Amino acid sequence: MIACGCEVCTSPDEKDKRLRSSILVKSRETTLVVDTTPDFRTQMLREQVKKLDAVIFTHPHKDHIAGLDDIRAFNYFQQSPVKVYANELTIQALKREFLYAFSDKKYPGLPEIDLHPIDQEPFMVGDLPVIPITVYHLRMPVLGFRFGKFTYITDANHIEPGEKKKIAGSDTLVINALRKEPHVSHYTLPEAVALAEELRIPRVYFTHISHQLGTHAAVSAELKNGMQLAYDGLTLHF
Protein backbone atom coordinates (compact mmCIF):
# COMPACT_ATOMS: atom_id res chain seq x y z
CA MET A 1 0.00 0.00 0.00
CA ILE A 2 1.31 3.44 -0.93
CA ALA A 3 2.94 5.29 1.99
CA CYS A 4 2.55 2.33 4.39
CA GLY A 5 5.50 1.22 6.53
CA CYS A 6 3.92 -1.93 7.99
CA GLU A 7 5.64 -5.30 8.24
CA VAL A 8 3.99 -6.58 5.03
CA CYS A 9 4.62 -3.47 2.94
CA THR A 10 8.31 -3.42 3.92
CA SER A 11 8.81 -7.21 3.75
CA PRO A 12 11.72 -8.44 1.60
CA ASP A 13 9.71 -11.62 0.72
CA GLU A 14 8.68 -11.51 -2.95
CA LYS A 15 5.39 -13.20 -1.98
CA ASP A 16 4.49 -10.09 0.04
CA LYS A 17 4.68 -7.89 -3.07
CA ARG A 18 1.10 -8.02 -4.23
CA LEU A 19 -0.24 -6.44 -7.40
CA ARG A 20 -3.99 -6.08 -7.89
CA SER A 21 -5.97 -9.32 -8.36
CA SER A 22 -6.40 -10.94 -11.76
CA ILE A 23 -5.84 -14.34 -13.37
CA LEU A 24 -4.76 -15.55 -16.79
CA VAL A 25 -6.41 -18.75 -18.06
CA LYS A 26 -4.78 -20.62 -20.92
CA SER A 27 -5.93 -23.68 -22.85
CA ARG A 28 -4.55 -25.29 -25.98
CA GLU A 29 -6.18 -22.66 -28.21
CA THR A 30 -7.30 -19.82 -25.99
CA THR A 31 -5.73 -17.25 -23.66
CA LEU A 32 -7.92 -14.98 -21.55
CA VAL A 33 -7.60 -12.82 -18.48
CA VAL A 34 -10.20 -12.26 -15.81
CA ASP A 35 -10.11 -8.48 -15.13
CA THR A 36 -7.60 -5.87 -16.29
CA THR A 37 -6.26 -4.30 -13.12
CA PRO A 38 -4.24 -1.06 -12.91
CA ASP A 39 -1.27 -3.49 -12.91
CA PHE A 40 -2.37 -5.30 -16.12
CA ARG A 41 0.53 -3.93 -18.18
CA THR A 42 3.09 -4.88 -15.52
CA GLN A 43 1.55 -8.36 -15.24
CA MET A 44 1.52 -8.97 -19.01
CA LEU A 45 5.16 -7.86 -19.31
CA ARG A 46 6.26 -9.94 -16.30
CA GLU A 47 4.61 -13.12 -17.66
CA GLN A 48 5.68 -12.37 -21.24
CA VAL A 49 2.16 -12.88 -22.55
CA LYS A 50 2.32 -12.78 -26.35
CA LYS A 51 -1.32 -13.46 -27.22
CA LEU A 52 -4.61 -12.48 -25.60
CA ASP A 53 -7.95 -13.57 -27.06
CA ALA A 54 -10.33 -12.22 -24.44
CA VAL A 55 -10.94 -10.34 -21.22
CA ILE A 56 -13.74 -11.42 -18.87
CA PHE A 57 -14.81 -8.91 -16.23
CA THR A 58 -16.06 -9.65 -12.72
CA HIS A 59 -17.35 -6.17 -11.81
CA PRO A 60 -16.77 -2.50 -12.56
CA HIS A 61 -14.58 -1.41 -9.63
CA LYS A 62 -11.50 0.49 -10.75
CA ASP A 63 -9.04 -2.06 -9.39
CA HIS A 64 -10.56 -4.60 -11.82
CA ILE A 65 -11.02 -2.55 -15.01
CA ALA A 66 -8.45 0.28 -15.04
CA GLY A 67 -5.86 -1.52 -17.20
CA LEU A 68 -8.14 -2.15 -20.19
CA ASP A 69 -6.51 0.54 -22.36
CA ASP A 70 -3.32 -1.55 -22.49
CA ILE A 71 -4.92 -4.26 -24.64
CA ARG A 72 -3.80 -1.94 -27.47
CA ALA A 73 -0.51 -3.84 -27.75
CA PHE A 74 -2.40 -7.08 -28.39
CA ASN A 75 -4.59 -5.29 -30.97
CA TYR A 76 -1.44 -4.12 -32.71
CA PHE A 77 0.36 -7.48 -32.84
CA GLN A 78 -2.77 -9.60 -33.47
CA GLN A 79 -4.30 -7.14 -35.94
CA SER A 80 -7.69 -7.75 -34.36
CA PRO A 81 -9.96 -6.57 -31.56
CA VAL A 82 -9.81 -8.34 -28.18
CA LYS A 83 -13.09 -9.96 -27.11
CA VAL A 84 -14.49 -8.46 -23.91
CA TYR A 85 -17.14 -10.33 -21.89
CA ALA A 86 -18.96 -8.33 -19.21
CA ASN A 87 -22.37 -7.95 -17.62
CA GLU A 88 -24.56 -4.89 -18.17
CA LEU A 89 -23.36 -3.11 -15.01
CA THR A 90 -19.72 -3.47 -16.05
CA ILE A 91 -20.42 -2.56 -19.70
CA GLN A 92 -21.94 0.75 -18.54
CA ALA A 93 -18.83 1.49 -16.47
CA LEU A 94 -16.47 0.56 -19.33
CA LYS A 95 -18.34 2.93 -21.66
CA ARG A 96 -18.01 5.72 -19.06
CA GLU A 97 -14.37 5.10 -18.13
CA PHE A 98 -13.15 4.42 -21.69
CA LEU A 99 -15.50 6.72 -23.58
CA TYR A 100 -12.95 7.26 -26.39
CA ALA A 101 -12.78 3.50 -27.13
CA PHE A 102 -16.54 3.32 -27.70
CA SER A 103 -17.04 6.57 -29.64
CA ASP A 104 -18.21 6.51 -33.26
CA LYS A 105 -15.14 8.45 -34.32
CA LYS A 106 -12.33 5.90 -34.45
CA TYR A 107 -8.71 6.86 -34.81
CA PRO A 108 -5.52 4.77 -34.89
CA GLY A 109 -4.16 3.63 -31.54
CA LEU A 110 -7.51 3.21 -29.79
CA PRO A 111 -8.06 0.01 -27.81
CA GLU A 112 -10.17 -2.23 -30.07
CA ILE A 113 -12.87 -4.09 -28.20
CA ASP A 114 -15.27 -6.75 -29.44
CA LEU A 115 -17.97 -6.53 -26.76
CA HIS A 116 -19.95 -9.59 -25.64
CA PRO A 117 -22.65 -9.04 -22.99
CA ILE A 118 -22.92 -11.91 -20.51
CA ASP A 119 -25.30 -12.68 -17.67
CA GLN A 120 -26.10 -16.04 -16.03
CA GLU A 121 -25.73 -18.25 -19.09
CA PRO A 122 -22.62 -20.40 -19.62
CA PHE A 123 -20.60 -19.39 -22.68
CA MET A 124 -17.53 -20.43 -24.67
CA VAL A 125 -14.38 -18.39 -25.24
CA GLY A 126 -12.62 -20.28 -28.04
CA ASP A 127 -12.28 -23.83 -26.69
CA LEU A 128 -12.82 -22.77 -23.02
CA PRO A 129 -16.26 -23.33 -21.47
CA VAL A 130 -17.07 -20.66 -18.86
CA ILE A 131 -19.82 -20.81 -16.22
CA PRO A 132 -20.68 -17.45 -14.61
CA ILE A 133 -21.51 -17.51 -10.90
CA THR A 134 -23.29 -14.52 -9.34
CA VAL A 135 -21.82 -13.51 -5.97
CA TYR A 136 -22.40 -10.41 -3.86
CA HIS A 137 -19.94 -7.66 -2.93
CA LEU A 138 -22.14 -6.08 -0.26
CA ARG A 139 -25.09 -5.29 -2.56
CA MET A 140 -23.27 -5.29 -5.91
CA PRO A 141 -23.69 -8.45 -8.02
CA VAL A 142 -20.24 -9.61 -9.12
CA LEU A 143 -19.43 -12.49 -11.47
CA GLY A 144 -17.25 -15.40 -10.43
CA PHE A 145 -16.25 -17.91 -13.11
CA ARG A 146 -15.92 -21.67 -13.25
CA PHE A 147 -13.65 -23.26 -15.86
CA GLY A 148 -13.99 -27.04 -15.61
CA LYS A 149 -12.86 -28.04 -12.10
CA PHE A 150 -11.39 -24.58 -11.37
CA THR A 151 -13.43 -21.71 -9.90
CA TYR A 152 -12.30 -18.09 -9.44
CA ILE A 153 -14.21 -15.73 -7.16
CA THR A 154 -12.99 -12.29 -6.18
CA ASP A 155 -14.68 -9.38 -4.40
CA ALA A 156 -17.52 -11.15 -2.64
CA ASN A 157 -18.88 -11.59 0.84
CA HIS A 158 -22.13 -13.43 0.13
CA ILE A 159 -23.22 -16.23 -2.20
CA GLU A 160 -26.78 -17.51 -2.55
CA PRO A 161 -27.33 -21.29 -2.09
CA GLY A 162 -28.19 -21.87 -5.78
CA GLU A 163 -24.94 -20.25 -6.89
CA LYS A 164 -22.94 -22.21 -4.30
CA LYS A 165 -24.11 -25.38 -6.09
CA LYS A 166 -22.29 -24.19 -9.22
CA ILE A 167 -19.03 -24.04 -7.22
CA ALA A 168 -19.45 -27.40 -5.46
CA GLY A 169 -17.51 -30.18 -7.20
CA SER A 170 -14.63 -27.88 -8.15
CA ASP A 171 -11.29 -29.34 -7.14
CA THR A 172 -9.68 -25.92 -6.94
CA LEU A 173 -11.23 -22.68 -5.67
CA VAL A 174 -9.63 -19.24 -5.64
CA ILE A 175 -11.60 -17.04 -3.26
CA ASN A 176 -11.10 -13.55 -1.85
CA ALA A 177 -9.98 -13.16 1.77
CA LEU A 178 -9.15 -9.54 2.54
CA ARG A 179 -8.05 -9.71 6.19
CA LYS A 180 -9.07 -11.27 9.49
CA GLU A 181 -11.17 -8.38 10.78
CA PRO A 182 -14.74 -7.97 9.45
CA HIS A 183 -15.20 -5.98 6.24
CA VAL A 184 -18.40 -4.64 4.70
CA SER A 185 -17.93 -6.11 1.20
CA HIS A 186 -15.19 -8.76 1.29
CA TYR A 187 -14.92 -12.18 2.92
CA THR A 188 -12.55 -12.30 5.86
CA LEU A 189 -10.06 -15.16 6.04
CA PRO A 190 -12.20 -17.12 8.55
CA GLU A 191 -15.31 -16.58 6.37
CA ALA A 192 -13.49 -17.74 3.23
CA VAL A 193 -12.16 -20.82 5.06
CA ALA A 194 -15.69 -21.63 6.29
CA LEU A 195 -17.11 -21.32 2.77
CA ALA A 196 -14.44 -23.61 1.31
CA GLU A 197 -15.12 -26.18 4.05
CA GLU A 198 -18.88 -25.94 3.53
CA LEU A 199 -18.39 -26.64 -0.19
CA ARG A 200 -15.77 -29.37 0.52
CA ILE A 201 -13.24 -27.95 -1.92
CA PRO A 202 -9.98 -29.94 -1.65
CA ARG A 203 -7.60 -27.21 -2.88
CA VAL A 204 -8.18 -23.56 -1.96
CA TYR A 205 -6.19 -20.39 -2.64
CA PHE A 206 -6.95 -17.03 -1.04
CA THR A 207 -6.62 -13.89 -3.15
CA HIS A 208 -7.38 -10.12 -3.04
CA ILE A 209 -5.33 -10.03 0.16
CA SER A 210 -4.87 -6.77 2.04
CA HIS A 211 -1.59 -5.88 3.76
CA GLN A 212 -3.71 -6.05 6.93
CA LEU A 213 -3.89 -9.87 6.65
CA GLY A 214 -0.21 -10.31 7.58
CA THR A 215 2.89 -11.66 5.85
CA HIS A 216 2.70 -14.61 3.45
CA ALA A 217 4.93 -16.69 5.72
CA ALA A 218 3.04 -15.95 8.96
CA VAL A 219 -0.45 -16.52 7.52
CA SER A 220 0.63 -19.61 5.54
CA ALA A 221 1.83 -21.23 8.78
CA GLU A 222 -1.69 -20.90 10.25
CA LEU A 223 -3.58 -22.44 7.31
CA LYS A 224 -4.97 -25.97 7.25
CA ASN A 225 -3.96 -28.64 4.74
CA GLY A 226 -5.24 -27.88 1.24
CA MET A 227 -5.51 -24.14 1.91
CA GLN A 228 -2.88 -21.65 0.78
CA LEU A 229 -2.40 -17.96 0.16
CA ALA A 230 -2.15 -17.17 -3.52
CA TYR A 231 0.78 -15.02 -4.63
CA ASP A 232 1.75 -13.08 -7.72
CA GLY A 233 2.97 -15.40 -10.46
CA LEU A 234 1.40 -18.55 -8.94
CA THR A 235 0.78 -21.09 -11.75
CA LEU A 236 -1.61 -24.05 -11.56
CA HIS A 237 -1.84 -26.88 -14.11
CA PHE A 238 -4.96 -28.90 -14.91
Binding site for Zn ion (CB under 5 A): 1, 4, 6, 9, 61, 63, 155, 211
Query: In the complex with Zn ion, which residue's Cβ is closer, 157 or 172?
Result: 157
117 CB-side CA count, 13 A: 7
Between β-strands 31-34 and 23-26, what pairing exists: parallel, antiparallel or unpaired? Answer: antiparallel
SS3 of residue 79 by DSSP: coil
> What's the closest the beta carbon of residue 10 comes to Zn ion, in angstroms?
8
Going by their DSSP bridges, the two strands 123-125 and 128-137 should be labelled as antiparallel
Q: Between 25 and 142, whose beta carbon lies closer to Zn ion?
A: 142
Shortest separation between residue 146's beta carbon and Zn ion, angstroms: 19
Instruction: Name the residue nearer to Zn ion (CB basis): 58 or 170.
Output: 58
State the nearest-atom distance from the C-beta of 200 to Zn ion, in Å: 26
Nearer to Zn ion, 27 or 210 (CB): 210
CA dihedral 208, 210, 213, 219 (to 10 degrees): 50
Give the integer Cα–Cα distance in Å for 76 and 111.
Answer: 9
Q: Which helix (H) or strand (E) holds 221?
A: helix 216-222
Pick the closer one to Zn ion by CB: 23 or 128: 23
Q: How far is the CB of 16 from Zn ion (least distance, A)?
A: 9
Cβ 20 to Zn ion shortest distance, Å: 7
d(CA 26, CA 128) in angstroms, rounded, equals 9
